[in-house]
Structure 1
Amino acid sequence: MNARLFHLPIPRSLGLLLLCCLGLNPAGWAQQVETLTAKPLSQAIKTPLRPVPEYRSVQLPVVTRGGDLVPILAETEGLFARQNAQVTLVREDDFRKQVEASLSGRTPYVRGTLGMITAAAEAFQAQGGDLVVIYQLTWSAGGDALVVRADYDLKEIKTLAAPLYGPAMDYLPHLWQDKALKSTKIRWVAEPTLPGYATPGKVVDPASVFQADPTLDAALCLLPDALMLTSNGTIGTGAEGSVKGATLLQSTQADAKVIADVYAVRKDYLEQHPQEVARLVQALMEAETRLEALAKTPTDPAYRRLLTTTAQHLFGTAHATAETEELWNGYQFVGREENQTFFTGQDSLISPFQQHVVALQPGLQGLGVVAKPVTLQAAPWEYTRDGVRYAVPVVATPAADTVARQDSAVAPATATVQAPTPNTAAAPPGELEIYFAPNERTSDKTYTDDFRQVLAMTRAFRNPVVKIEGHADPQGILKAKAEGASEQQLNTLKQRAKNLSYVRAEQIRAQLLDYAQTQNLPLDQERVVAIGEGVQHPKYESPKNEAQWQANRRVVFRVEEAAVQ
């Protein structure tokens, strides 16, 4: 299978060297810096959601980042073909164009960092669709770097060039933790590195902007560009594309596990083609295993072959092997086991993936690239020794000409928190109960295990709502009715029962929120609702014994998808 890619005509460093040899000074070009305004992708992109046709080979985007050695290796060594994953590699560093291509149905896949995919998910949701993250390729481990002039530190940076809708979305908020960059003016540009298309008279990437504008204090760019600007990581001499006095101030080598590079797929496509997507993920896993082995044997001809092939794909010439090695060395490849840990958390209640998405939200909003907190889902993979398996039933979606599809129908998860009681029937699977004594308004018991189980259920939903229902036993009302109580007296007893059940539900709600806070787990209190049901829905309408009376005095948790407003 031959991959079709969009190529750079020549890598930046080789091109600049050639110009210098010809007596031309790149800094002397009349170039215009093309800057962009940050806005949420959901507002910047208006492409409607269209179905993905049944292609013979599906486009899989690759970008100029270290993690993309993985799909290129999978293509080169036939791993995609062996898994019957029919894909065609297409290089596209302009993330906005990637998202537009996926929305329009030209490809179901999107390639970016977790922050970039989060912003793209908001754009999909605005069009009635969604994205699901299916695989993590790498953590940036030096592959993204901040270059400054002279001896600037973070607090002295007043102007900064960075790629809009690029890795800066993940990294800049991390640098902002100490508010050092809060007053910095960001000049957003379209591309993370020199693009694979002509831009006559314009510069559209951070390194080129840094070269062209001497008033710019800093640039956030990819490692090969950062090394070029700083004369191979020292102090820029002003020769061969470097900027005089430029130094590498900080990189993700010191900020490990800040930028996660991932693949995502359209949710409707995953539901329609789960096995196809699983085969793609399996091929990527095999490629990472192979890549790990190659990294240990640089004398292996396959090692050199991968360098030249990747150089041709990403830099447009097989001679750019030095740049390719810089990309390779700037990222930590994760593989199968770390994917499983990242997306499932295994024994953790909240997965590292979910924690990472939650942590990104304030920064993304602060940069103006999302309009509000965005929910992002991971694929429901079941990890096996041989790969992954789609772990939930496939939900049928409308025909291909029905663009506005509904999300998967997921039945509400119900758990009744319970203390075991003799002589009661076994609770249905997934149900637990908390019981109260007659007229007991509060409970001093703790329900740590039950709260963990309820919170774990929220992971099955994109916008979970936790409803905590308090229920009361109708025994007293039934007895009063039998003794001839008036309708007014019965209504008063029903209202008291309703008030009592609400107090019980509110107490359990407070305990649940306290538990989530002590465990540093994300739980929006606005999505946790206490409801007093009173005697409206008893488990036993006419209880016959103590066990049935006690079963009616309960608190029930219902976790379900929030209604779309």
Structure 2
Amino acid sequence: MKKLIGAVLFSLVLLASFTASANSLPPLRVSDPFGEVTAGTCMPLYVITWGGEYAVIHANGDAAHTTPNSLFGKAGLCFDLIHEDSPEKQLSGYVTGKTALLRGTVGMGVAGNEFLLFDSRLQPVAVILLTRSTGGDALVVGPGISTLANLVNKLIALQKYGPHMDFLIATLKFAGLSMKDVKIVWTSGLTGEDKDKPSDALLEKRADAAFVITFDANTLSSGGTVGTGSEGSLKGARTIFTTKSVDHATFDVYYARADYLATHRDALGKFAELIMVSQAELIALNKAKGPGWKAAVTAFQKILSKTVPDYASAQDMFMDCTPAGLALNEKFFTDPNFMRNFDTVVSEIQDAYIELGALTKKMPMKHAGWDYAALKRGGTLSYQAATPKFDEAKVTAVVSELDRSGTLDERLMDKPIEVLFSPNEEKFDIAPFKPHFDGLLAKLAVAGGSLMVIEGHADPLGYLKCLKASKDPAYAAKMDKELASKGGIVAACLSKNPGPAELARVKQAAKNKSAMRAYAVRDAFIAYAREKKLTFDPTQFTINPSGIEKPKSGMCGEIPCAPKTDADWRANMRVLFKVIQVEAEASTFEAL
């Protein structure tokens, strides 16, 4: 009874500290009394509508109840899987002792942590990172919104305390926005048969945008294109942002009660290890596409049937996230240099919850602190070698086509960084740009699925002089005398009564110079990142040498406009460092 009174009083304190606002979110709490976790039985284990559940279900024997020959069964573990997407209902079972484990994103644990302070035995401790979302979550917008900047003052729907809080927080931070810049429409449900879902709010015009899971996004946007208004879609709806680009925004975990971890540390350690083993088995099964894979997909769909309607939807969900495995678990929980580690993500989410009123203060959250090196030595797990994120040839083709069609800048995820060069200069001094690159590195830590286009430009004046000389012999003679002693390709062009071949050489030389400048900026950025112990996949960069095709002075018909001032002339000698999303071209990404 004392514990119940303590919980109620703590809830009242939180409620009293809560300040109402347009985006206000009351603290996550339940009125249930504390209960001991029942020992000696098959523990109820929550699973959610997410591709990460494949590993849990497979480790359980591709069944809702643990089978004797499953990974869990052979280790003496036993679970009854319960599909539950409601954070409140999960928290109730956790507090009363129905289960010792909470399932959700990092943020879902953050939401309940302060309430659970009424009893230290209930403090949530992260025991495993299962996956990170790499395409399974999406931001769908209605007509009139095309970029993240357009979200200012717009109504955005998402499930309160749900998995998309983490995505919303990272998205706003990436766009340079805060909770104060948008208006939140909270829903109680998430997807499927739930009532009051984010997709409902968008369809009913209660919201201008919604954070949803991918198959809801595909329905709203008529198969990932533009919504037609039929078959559950919203006319004009489009997906503008997914976790395929911001692939380090949403991390999902299991949290264990502190009291249960203290008395069952070995069992929970085995639980975490076997989920990682299960992930490795599933990757192999998915590649083989044999009976084992079919059994895994069938079990996944059956257990999550409230929200996953059919086999095809279930199979797609496996590709919505990337298994963390041993390497990312170790990095996420123990590496202080990893810019998206557990402590950093927790702190970022707590800031947002405090702003919303759902928390009153920041507090540290704990993880189990497993010996990951020992797990590797045990022989069941290994560090998976990193694979390229992008197919370089396909990326180059996509960027070239976007550039040709004039739509490349529509994919921008952030304002480009502009680097100016002096005449004929190709070396790049990074020192003045370190503050800009520091900000970019922080954003790229979240947007690991984005592409960096390094776009080089050159001054068109030399080409324009050659072009004029090709039409004006007197001008050619005059310029020949002025440039004869200077050498270079422009001088060579002017000395020959230039024709198409000479003009083409000048244009190519300008393109080559723009490429050298772009490579210089790219190499300096990669070197600077390495100084900070950060590495980037080389396939994530593409060089786009524009030469004189897109001068800052503009185009006059089919040729560059002549710069009018010295400043105009120098402004053309530049490199633009762009971060874009290319997720619509799925073939540019390497498959698992």
TM-score (norm 2): 0.55
Contact 1:135-1:281 at 8 Å conserved across structures? yes
2:104 paired residue number: 112
1:434 paired residue number: none
State the shift of 1:350 in Å: 9.4
Against the structure 1 CA distance between its residues 274 and 208, is the aligned structure 2 distance closer, same or farther, given a 3 Å change threshold?
Answer: same
Against the structure 1 CA distance between its residues 317 and 187, is the aligned structure 2 distance closer, same or farther, given a 3 Å change threshold?
Answer: closer
CA distance in 2, matches of 1:230, 1:350: 33
2:570 paired residue number: none
State the shift of 1:352 in Å: 1.9
1:362 paired residue number: 351
- Give the match's secondary structure for 1:249: strand
1:227 paired residue number: 218
State the shift of 1:168 in Å: 2.4
CA distance in 2, matches of 1:254, 1:287: 26
- Give the match's secondary structure for 1:45: coil
CA distance in 1, matches of 2:225, 2:43: 43
Output one character per residue of 1:502-544: Cα deviation in whole Å (capped at 9) or x when no partner. xxxxxxxxxxxxxxxx999xxxxxxxxxxxxxxxxxxxxxxxx
Against the structure 1 CA distance between its residues 137 and 127, is the aligned structure 2 distance closer, same or farther, given a 3 Å change threshold?
Answer: same
2:61 paired residue number: 76
Against the structure 1 CA distance between its residues 243 and 183, is the aligned structure 2 distance closer, same or farther, given a 3 Å change threshold?
Answer: same
- Give the match's secondary structure for 2:236: coil
- Give the match's secondary structure for 2:372: strand
Output one character per residue of 1:248-271: Cα deviation in whole Å (capped at 9) or x when no partner. 011111101111000010000000
The answer as to 2:262 corresponding to 1:268 is no
Name the one with the larger helix percent: 2
Read off the aligned partner of 2:131 and give its amino acid letter.
Answer: T
Read off the aligned partner of 2:263 and give its amino acid letter.
Answer: Q
State the shift of 1:120 in Å: 2.0
1:532 paired residue number: none
1:186 paired residue number: 184
The answer as to 2:225 corresponding to 1:210 is no
Which of these residues, 136, 147, 150, is aligned with residue 156 of structure 1?
A: 150
CA distance in 2, matches of 1:359, 1:375: 12
State the shift of 1:307 in Å: 1.4
Against the structure 1 CA distance between its residues 351 and 194, is the aligned structure 2 distance closer, same or farther, given a 3 Å change threshold?
Answer: closer
The answer as to 2:308 corresponding to 1:306 is no
Output one character per residue of 1:85-111: Cα deviation in whole Å (capped at 9) or x when no partner. 111111110011101110111100000
How many aligned residue pairs are there? 347
CA distance in 1, matches of 2:309, 2:187: 28
2:128 paired residue number: 135
Contact 1:148-1:247 at 8 Å conserved across structures? yes
Against the structure 1 CA distance between its residues 339 and 240, is the aligned structure 2 distance closer, same or farther, given a 3 Å change threshold?
Answer: same
CA distance in 1, matches of 2:244, 2:308: 27
Contact 1:278-1:388 at 8 Å conserved across structures? no
Contact 2:248-2:340 at 8 Å conserved across structures? no
Aligned residue runs from structure 1 range 386-465, under 5 A: 386=375
Against the structure 1 CA distance between its residues 369 and 296, is the aligned structure 2 distance closer, same or farther, given a 3 Å change threshold?
Answer: farther
Contact 1:165-1:369 at 8 Å conserved across structures? no
Contact 1:343-1:351 at 8 Å conserved across structures? no
State the shift of 1:137 in Å: 0.6
1:325 paired residue number: 315
Contact 1:60-1:89 at 8 Å conserved across structures? yes
Identical positions, percent: 30
- Give the match's secondary structure for 1:231: coil
Output one character per residue of 1:117-158: Cα deviation in whole Å (capped at 9) or x when no partner. 112222211344311000001111111111111241334341
Aligned residue runs from structure 1 range 37-52, under 5 A: 38-41=25-28, 44-52=29-37
CA distance in 2, matches of 1:319, 1:47: 33
- Give the match's secondary structure for 1:220: strand
Stretches of structure 2 that go unaligned for 5 or more consecutive residues are 1-21, 63-69, 379-530, 534-592
1:7 paired residue number: none
Read off the aligned partner of 2:82 and give its amino acid letter.
Answer: V
Against the structure 1 CA distance between its residues 249 and 318, is the aligned structure 2 distance closer, same or farther, given a 3 Å change threshold?
Answer: closer
CA distance in 2, matches of 1:388, 1:56: 31
Read off the aligned partner of 2:26 and give its amino acid letter.
Answer: K
CA RMSD of aligned residues (A): 2.7
1:91 paired residue number: 83
CA distance in 2, matches of 1:236, 1:98: 34
Against the structure 1 CA distance between its residues 191 and 374, is the aligned structure 2 distance closer, same or farther, given a 3 Å change threshold?
Answer: farther
State the shift of 1:215 in Å: 4.5
Stretches of structure 1 that go unaligned for 5 or more consecutive residues are 1-34, 197-202, 390-517, 521-565
CA distance in 2, matches of 1:145, 1:349: 25
